[in-house]
Amino acid sequence: MANILVVDDEPGIREFLVEALASDGHHLTEAASADAAVERLKHEEFDLLITDLRMPGKLDGMDVVREAREAHPDTRVIVLTAHGSVSTAVDAMKLGAIDFLEKPMSGPTELRTLVSRALSGVPESGSQPITDVNDYLRRQLARALGADYRVEDLIGKGGYAAVFGVHDLALDRALAAKVLLPEFASSEDTADRFRREARTMARLSHPNIMPVLFVGREREVPFFVMPRVQGSSIAEMMAAKVPLDPKQVVRVVGDIAAALDYAHDAGVIHRDVKPANILVDKATGRAVLTDFGIAKAVVPEGVSAATVPGVFLGTPQYSAPEQIAGEHDVGPRADIYSFAVVVYEMIAGRVPFEATSASRIAAQQLFAPVPPLSRHAPRVSRKIDSVMARALAKHPDDRYASASEFARAVENVLA
């Protein structure tokens, strides 16, 4: 049986750990502070250290981990972490801690399994040492999904969430899981936005809109799972600032127009149509609209909406003037404006308005005339300029009535 040092300033946590592990025959030593634990480690050897990270006093849990690694390199270390200390837990992993346990703990089973694995030297199946927050999220996601799924690479990371590749072992299919970043989990507004995105995508059933297969949660890490598109985003395709092939533009325009019309008919405005949120399947060429994180449901007059007037949500390079102005009644034609900016970029290799700051871009979106697209794409008919001028009109009523109407105008010019 093992000699284990348990360190936590909360008596209830220490009592839980000691009772759970003593029943397996281990010898437990308690320390109520990091200072006391460091003194213990200077004079005694332990097979395993289980320590909280945030504790009052001159020293904290990181000091305990450092002392354990320096004084007794063979001592295995498990850190206890609560929400808000994820980055510190990752730092502890870099110092040689081999695993972590989150507080509050649901019961002794996970603790015993973790301790048994630590003492035997057998790592968690399929896991690698945790070196950063991405690895932390990957581990949490793997625990939540279970043995039927393998969490793979980090596909992308945005302002409040990360997306990981996932392989469904039972059905042999590629999936993607979107995970809320830990620092936003305690923000009710952000968590609600995350849940709202999953609900919105789940209610939209269309071949050109990314579906949600299921949702889940591992402690403070909520996530939802989608099919994985084997291909690239328009943003990745445009990274070289080279115009896309006209045939590909026509295909993407038709697909995304169909997606937007469907969403608008269902009462959903995307509000963040941009190249990063359009994925193109490599095998079929099918374009898919994703990331409904700031989507807005159209509500009847007099009913409060989820957004607040005067607050701008979106990406300045692709946002309609009314979005930038923070207007409350942003409608479907805001998506048509954003969609038109994406189409402009696909044809010209650049967006219509560029500047060194977001505020300058916003000012151009509000007041500057649209630069003729043909100036940047001389091989395209000048008829495209009038199409873009209408789609990028400053006032919503002056734009195309639907995404498909705009798409047909683009296709006629490019054809």
Q: Annotated catalytic sites, by residue?
A: 272
Q: How many CB atoms lie within 10 A of CB 94?
A: 12
Max Cα-Cα span within the chain: 83
Which tokens in the block code for residue 393? Answer: 């009109």
Residue of 167, 162, 87, 97 lying closest to 126 (CA atoms):
167
Euclidean distance between the first and final Cα of the chain, in Å?
77
CB crowding 371-391: b at 16 or more within 10 Å, else e: bbbbebbeebeeebbebbbbb
Question: Measured between alpha carbons, how far is 88 from 56 in angstroms, rounded to an integer?
Answer: 15
Which phi and psi angles does 256 have, rounded to 5°? -70, -35
Distance CA 172, CA 168 (A): 5
Structure tokens that stand for 163 in this block: 């997306």
3-state secondary structure labels for all residues of 282-315: CCCCCEEECCCCCCEECCCCCCCCCCCCCCCCCC
Question: Are β-strands 231-233 and 278-281 bridged in parallel, bridged antiparallel, or unpaired?
Answer: antiparallel
- Using alpha carbons only, how large is the chain's radius of gyration in Å? 27
Residue 150: strand pairing partners: 167
Asked whether 73 and 54 are in contact (CB, 8 A), the reply is no
Per-residue tokens: 186: 């305690």
Q: Where are the alpha helices (DSSP H) in 244-357?
A: 246-265, 321-324, 332-348
Backbone angles phi, psi at 127, to 5 degrees: -95, 160
**CA distance readout (Å), 119 to 46, 78, 131, 300:** 11, 11, 21, 61
